Amino acid sequence: MTIGAAEAGLGAGVGDGRADTAAVSRRASWLRPSAGGWGGALIRFALAVALPLGAFLFWELAVDSGLASGRLVPPPSRILATLADLWTAGQLADHIASTCLRVLLGFLAGAAAGALAGSLTGYFRFVHAAVDPTLQALRAIPSIAWVPLFILWFGIFETSKVVLIATGVFFPVYLGVSTALLSVDRKIVEVGRIFRLSGFDLVRRILFPAVLPAFIVSLRAGLGLGWMFVVAAEFMGASEGLGYLLVDGQQLGKPDQIMAAILIFAVIGKLSDALLVGATAPLIAWQDNFSRGGL
């Protein structure tokens, strides 16, 4: 082989290598959240639901063919029938509404208190030294431990439930905001100082935008805990709500009702998170994010 031929061969090899790399990146490109078009969105959605749908189908067939009894773990068709029954009886919407309202109120109260406390401890060293250790100790208390005390303090009705949820939401938001403020890059704070910003202006124009991404992540974590704590709250003796459906299903031996309630928790939990992400995405579009390539 002449040198020219060797170079040509090498060139072809390199060319092929590039083509392979391009093919891999093409193959994976629709997975990126930024991949546009309905086609990409549809493929991502199909990939996301493939696992749960596959599991449902497997269990449905297993019960249908008599391989499993489906008494304690009812097949999806029975769960859907229970959902339809609850919906036509007019109860389901009320249960969902009361649970959502409790989460919303608890989330708003907990997030506001968490953001305020996080801001104060993150901004003022003295407040941090005086308050943070106590809050960290309180954070270590398991949520259920508060239940008896909250019932004594706030009664059995709505207030105690909302306070419990707010407690759950408070800590991740507090920790997120406080930590983010303490770790704002000194270099951009100096930019503010060189332009003679101080006090409220420094907070509004530098610190708040700088901690916004971490604040939003902490809100998402808080909302997730809000959905967790609403179950504990509704175990305290609610007469309606998805948590009540769980307790009722356990006491009356209705696993299909329990699973129906769990399914709704999964769906509205995911929906509320998507709503929060969607609503806040424009606020943090400036971030120079790492976009994952490849599978």
Partner 1 sequence: MLSLTGLGKTYAGGVQALAGFTLDARPGEIVAVIGGSGCGKSTLLRLIGGLDTPTTGTVSINGETVEQPHPLINLIFQEPRLLPWLSVCDNVGFGLAHLPRAEQVLRINEALCRVNLEAYGDRLPKALSGGQAQRVAIARALVTRPEVLLLDEPFSALDALTRETLQQHLLDIWSETQATMILVTHDIDEAVSLAHRVIVMKPWPGRILDEIVIARPHQRGGADFDQARARVRSALNHSLSASAPADIRKGRAQHSSVLETSP
Q: What is the nearest approach in angstroms of partner 1 to the Cβ of residue 12?
A: 33
Q: Which structure tokens are listed for 258? A: 């329990």
Residue number, 18 or 292, with CB nearest to partner 1: 292
**Closest to partner 1 by CB, 23 or 188:** 188
Give the dihedral of Cα atoms 12, 15, 16, 20; nearest 10 deg: 170
Q: In angstroms, what is the minimal distance from the CB of 36 to partner 1?
A: 18
Minimal distance, residue 217 CB to partner 1, in Å: 16
Q: Are 187 and 202 in contact (CB under 8 A)?
A: no
Largest separation between any pair of C-alpha atoms in the chain: 92
Q: How far apart, in whole angstroms, are the C-alpha atoms of residue 295 and residue 271? A: 26
Whole-angstrom CA distances from 234 to 111, 181, 259 are 20, 35, 16
Q: Catalog residues that contact partner 1 under the rule CB under 8 A.
A: 187-188, 190-191, 193-196, 205-206, 209-210, 212, 286-288
Instruction: With beta carbons less than 8 A apart as the criterion, state whether 175 and 116 touch.
Output: no
Measured from the CB of residue 218, what is the shortest distance to partner 1 in angstroms?
Answer: 18
Using the minimum distance from each CB to partner 1, give the nearer residue, 192 or 269: 192
Residue 188 or residue 271: which is nearer to partner 1 going by CB? 188
State which residue, 7 or 190, has the beta carbon closest to partner 1: 190
Please report how close the Cβ of residue 185 comes to partner 1 at its closest, in angstroms. Answer: 9
**Burial (Cβ within 10 Å: 0-12, 13-18, ≥19) of residue 271:** exposed
Count CB-CB contacts under 10 A for residue 209. 15
DSSP 205: I
CA-only gyration radius of the chain, Å: 26
206: tokens are 């530098």
CB of 114 to partner 1, least distance (A): 22
Which of 26/187 has CB closer to partner 1?
Answer: 187
Task: Say which residue the tokens 């060797």 belong to.
Answer: 6
Q: Which is nearer to partner 1, 26 or 288 (CB)?
A: 288
Integer Cα distance of 31 and 183 in angstroms: 32
| CA separation for the pair 95, 240 (Å, rounded) | 5
Give least dist CB 234 to partner 1, A.
Answer: 40
Output the smallest distance, CB 21 to partner 1, in A. Answer: 24
**Would you say 20 or 190 has its CB closer to partner 1?**
190
Separation between Cα atoms, residue 157 and residue 39, nearest integer Å: 48
Count of alpha carbons within 13 Å of 11, Cβ hemisphere only?
6
